[in-house]
């Protein structure tokens, strides 16, 4: 009896200690400032600013022209100085690099050009020591054709790995059309003569799609995820995750049906079957729920009506998702990602306001204007002409850090880096660009005009040129020959120069991260669009517990008036992107003002 009482007491003692430990760990991740005291449903990933690093282009430490993990490690203090909380790294795993790491041949090793697992451990510790979390890319719609699963699978029809992929036996004839995004002929099927069958690849033929209907595939992936989490990473950004589920009877689709249902976005028709939620729910139960981590869906093909299904906390799937409606604005229909320079600010406001309303009561949104798949935000939504570059860069930073939803900020945007604007195809490296160029060529199109269109268009390499550290050769990115050209404007757009200049876009970004992180209103406050029909100015308020903030952003090259009817005479100016304060009357070109009132 005495023994069992002692045992019971020690169990209670142990439980209370471990709970306490859990409490402290969780609360230490949140801002303890009393201004946050009344906020409900807080989470560290809601209060964070995410900084995306494209490792290939960030910093090269060994002179081979490719960025690497040691390069990132050498810049940890710079990263910390930005005031960001989470770093998302694009794929760093073993890969033959057909699609810059989005074709993975080994999920549990580090890409040779990037370094070793020891380097990764050092990087993770270095980030954690500085209070920064690390999120990796999870690319599991497909792997590389060099992955052991695939090299085995293609050997014979009865190979144990055969069913890890989607096959169509050639004796059944040609399979029904499915899109292959990075193929010149646009086909998502590749004939493999060894076993007289076609395999499915929604991207390039070097990226065969994994068969999620096979429970063994799912278990392999969950095991791999657990091992990364056990190592201490803090989350995953999930590449094209809605695409993992598709109708594998592969029905024939007529052109008419395609036109009616395609809506210019193949993801919604050829992928995203309801099974995606069965898989994500299972992944949550078996892996995610066991760790304090964050998850982000690259919500390809999701709509305002379907996005909540991925992030509704009651459904136990993922935390956040990002949509493509924003980055789809101004893209001319039927032409490869050609931007209409006269994209409409009214549409921009509608898209971001409507998406805010999706998560107004539950779930949580994200906000971004650029990433490794997009042109530079400055060249696209701001203005990279010398007279407007700095103001518009800061204005866009203001937008990203004053909206509701976790901001995802792409490396180099804090410097106001601009599109590559390459003059010839030889300067491009991206597999998608090569395929599109091939399509124009095969169709006898105007190749010169195509290259020209991509200077302001969406060629992904526009956002992938090396980070501009200083004005030295190759922008201080490498001592060797960079894998892709460094933008010549590194002579004056670079971190070293901007660090010294208190009025630079870089220092403005630092001020904005500090402002957001100290403000529950900017993080959690209700968003209301004002002055909806104003074609030049985007104005909105954020509001929480009676505290109000007004944001006014001039998206044009001309002076403009914001018709907000808010009395600012007693307001406090929190930040302004011009050296002389806002007059209270007209906003100057690309002016951004944030008031508490």
560-561/572-576 β-pairing: unpaired
Neighbour-count burial for 561-582, b at 16+ CB within 10 Å, e otherwise = ebebeeebeebeebbbbbeeeb
**x/- track of binding to ligand GLC for residues 179-198 (CB under 6 A):** --------------------
Q: Are 296 and 321 in contact (CB under 8 A)?
A: yes
Please report how the helices 215-231 and 275-286 are oriented relative to each other, as an axis angle in degrees rounded to 10: 40
In order, the DSSP letters of 503-529 are: TSHHHHHHHHHHHHHT-HHHHH-EEEE
Residue 190 Cβ, how far from ligand GLC at the closest point, in Å?
Answer: 16
The answer to whether 95 and 110 are in contact (CB under 8 A) is no
**The one among 198, 203, 205, 409 contacting ligand GLC by CB under 6 A:** 203
Choose which of 106, 373, 470, 499 interacts with ligand GLC (CB under 6 A): 373
Nearer to ligand GLC, 104 or 395 (CB): 104
* Main-chain phi, psi angles of 586, to 5 degrees: -100, 145
Least distance to ligand GLC from the beta carbon of 538, Å?
27
What is the size of the binding site for ligand GLC (CB under 6 A)?
9
Mask 242-271, x = binds ligand GLC (CB under 6 A)? Answer: ------------------------------
> Any idea what the Cα angle at residue 88 is, between residues 85 and 91, rounded to 5°?
160
> Least distance in Å: CB of 100 to ligand GLC?
7
Q: Which is nearer to ligand GLC, 175 or 301 (CB)?
A: 301
Chain-centroid distance, C-alpha 570: 39
What is the x/- site pattern for ligand GLC, positions 277-316, by CB under 6 A? ---------------------x------------------
99 binds ligand GLC (CB under 6 A): yes
Per-residue contact string for residues 218-247; x = within reach of ligand GLC by CB under 6 A: ---------------------xx-------
Q: What gap in Å lies between CA 338 and CA 326, rounded to an integer?
A: 15
Give the C-alpha distances (Å, rounded to integers) separating 538 from 493, 526, 592, 593: 27, 16, 10, 11
- For residue 292, give the 3-state DSSP assignment: coil
Q: Is the CB of 102 or the CB of 524 nearer to ligand GLC?
A: 102
Catalytic residue, from 103, 298, 413, 414: name it. 298
Would you call 152 a catalytic residue per the annotation?
A: no
Using CB under 6 A, pick the residue from 69, 82, 104, 139 that binds ligand GLC: 139
Q: Which of 119, 183, 234, 239 is catalytic?
A: 239
What is the SS3 assignment for 126?
A: helix
DSSP state of 286: H
- For ligand GLC, the closer of residues 203 and 483 by Cβ is 203
Annotated active-site residue 239? The verdict is: yes
Q: Which of 54, 93, 102, 279 binds ligand GLC (CB under 6 A)?
A: 102
How far apart, in Å, are the Cα atoms of 9 and each of 15, 16, 17, 23?
A: 10, 11, 12, 21
Taking the least distance from each CB to ligand GLC, the nearer of 60 and 99 is 99
If the CB atoms of residues 147 and 372 are measured against ligand GLC, the closer one turns out to be 372
- Report the residue count for the chain: 597
**So which residues are the catalytic ones?**
239, 298
**Residues binding ligand GLC (CB under 6 A):** 99, 102, 139, 203, 239-240, 298, 372-373
């Amino acid at each position: 009896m005495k023994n069992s009482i002692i045992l019971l007491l020690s169990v209670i003692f142990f439980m209370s200690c471990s709970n306490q430990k859990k409490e402290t760990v969780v609360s230490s991740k949140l801002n303890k400032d009393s201004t946050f005291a009344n906020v409900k449903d807080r989470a560290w990933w809601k209060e964070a600013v995410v900084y995306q690093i494209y490792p290939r282009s960030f910093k090269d430490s060994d002179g081979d022209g490719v960025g690497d993990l040691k390069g990132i490690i050498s810049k940890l203090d710079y990263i910390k100085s930005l005031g960001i909380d989470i770093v998302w790294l694009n794929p760093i795993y073993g890969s033959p690099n057909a699609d810059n790491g989005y074709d993975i041949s080994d999920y549990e090793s580090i890409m040779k050009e990037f370094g070793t697992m020891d380097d990764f451990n050092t990087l993770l510790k270095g980030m954690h020591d500085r209070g920064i979390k690390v999120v990796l890319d999870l690319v599991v719609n497909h792997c590389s054709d060099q992955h052991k699963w695939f090299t085995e699978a293609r050997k014979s029809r009865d190979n144990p790995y055969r069913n890890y992929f989607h096959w169509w036996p050639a004796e059944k004839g040609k399979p029904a059309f499915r899109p292959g995004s990075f193929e010149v002929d646009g086909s998502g099927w590749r004939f493999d003569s060894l076993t007289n069958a076609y395999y499915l690849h929604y991207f390039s033929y070097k990226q065969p799609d994994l068969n999620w209907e096979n429970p063994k595939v799912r278990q392999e992936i969950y095991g791999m995820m657990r091992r990364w989490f056990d190592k201490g990473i803090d989350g995953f950004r999930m590449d094209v995750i809605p695409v993992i589920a598709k109708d594998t009877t592969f029905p024939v689709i007529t052109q008419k049906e395609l036109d009616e249902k395609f809506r210019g976005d193949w993801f919604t028709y050829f992928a995203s079957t309801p099974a995606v939620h069965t898989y994500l729910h299972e992944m949550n139960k078996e892996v995610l729920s066991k760790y304090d981590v964050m998850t982000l869906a690259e919500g390809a093909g999701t709509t305002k009506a379907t996005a909540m299904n991925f992030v509704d906390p009651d459904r136990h799937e993922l935390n956040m998702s990002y949509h493509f409606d924003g980055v789809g604005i101004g893209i001319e229909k039927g032409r490869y990602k050609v931007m209409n320079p006269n994209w409409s600010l009214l549409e921009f406001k509608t898209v971001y306001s409507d998406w805010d309303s999706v998560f107004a009561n539950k779930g949580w949104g994200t906000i971004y204007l650029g990433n490794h798949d997009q042109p530079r935000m400055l060249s696209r939504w701001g203005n990279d002409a010398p007279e407007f570059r700095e103001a518009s860069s800061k204005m866009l930073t203001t937008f990203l850090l004053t909206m509701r939803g976790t901001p995802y900020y792409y490396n180099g945007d804090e410097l106001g880096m601009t599109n590559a604007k390459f003059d010839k195809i030889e300067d491009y490296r991206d597999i998608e660009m090569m395929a599109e160029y091939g399509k124009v060529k095969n169709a006898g199109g105007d190749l010169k005009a195509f290259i020209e269109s991509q200077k302001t268009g969406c060629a992904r390499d526009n956002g992938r040129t090396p980070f501009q550290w200083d004005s030295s050769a190759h922008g201080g990115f490498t001592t060797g020959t960079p894998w892709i050209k460094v933008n010549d404007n590194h002579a004056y757009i670079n971190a070293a120069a901007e660090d010294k200049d208190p009025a630079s876009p870089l220092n403005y970004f630092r001020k904005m991260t500090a402002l957001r992180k100290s403000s529950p209103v900017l993080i959690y406050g209700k968003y209301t669009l004002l002055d909806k029909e104003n074609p030049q100015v985007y104005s909105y308020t954020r509001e929480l517990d009676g505290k109000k903030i007004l944001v006014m952003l001039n998206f044009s090259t001309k002076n403009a008036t914001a018709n907000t009817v808010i009395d600012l005479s007693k307001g406090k100016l929190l930040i302004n992107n011009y050296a002389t304060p806002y007059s209270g009357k007209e906003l100057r070109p690309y002016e951004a003002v944030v008031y508490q009132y």
